[in-house]
Amino acid sequence: MSRIGKKPVPVPAGVTASVDGQTVTAKGPKGELTFVANDEVAVAFENNAVTVAPVSQTKDARSKWGMSRTMIENIFKGVKDGYERKLEINGVGYRASMQGKNLQLALGFSHDVVYQTPEGISIAVPKPTEIIVSGINKQQVGQVAAEIREYRGPEPYKGKGVKYAEERIVRKEGKKK
Helix 59-80 × helix 138-151 angle, to 10°:
90
pLDDT at 2: 61
Q: What is the amino acid identity at position 88?
A: E
Which of 14, 48, 80 delimits the end of a domain? 80
Which of 80, 111, 142 delimits the end of a domain? 80
Number of structural domains (the chain) is 2
Q: What is the pTM of this model?
A: 0.88
Are both 20 and 74 inside the same structural domain? yes
Question: Is residue 172 situated within a structural domain?
Answer: no
pLDDT at 176: 85
CA dist 71 and 41 (Å) reads 13
According to DSSP, the residues that pair with 123 across neighbouring strands are: 133
Give the other-Cβ count within 10 Å of 1's Cβ. Answer: 9
Q: Tell me the residue range of the domain where 69 lies.
A: 3-80
CA dist 107 and 100 (Å) reads 19
CA dist 173 and 62 (Å) reads 46
pLDDT at 31 over 70: yes
Are both 76 and 87 inside the same structural domain? no
pLDDT at 151: 95
Question: Is residue 21 situated within a structural domain?
Answer: yes
What CATH number has the domain bearing residue 113? 3.90.930.12
CA dist 91 and 135 (Å) reads 27
Confidence of residue 105 (pLDDT cuts 50, 70, 90): very high
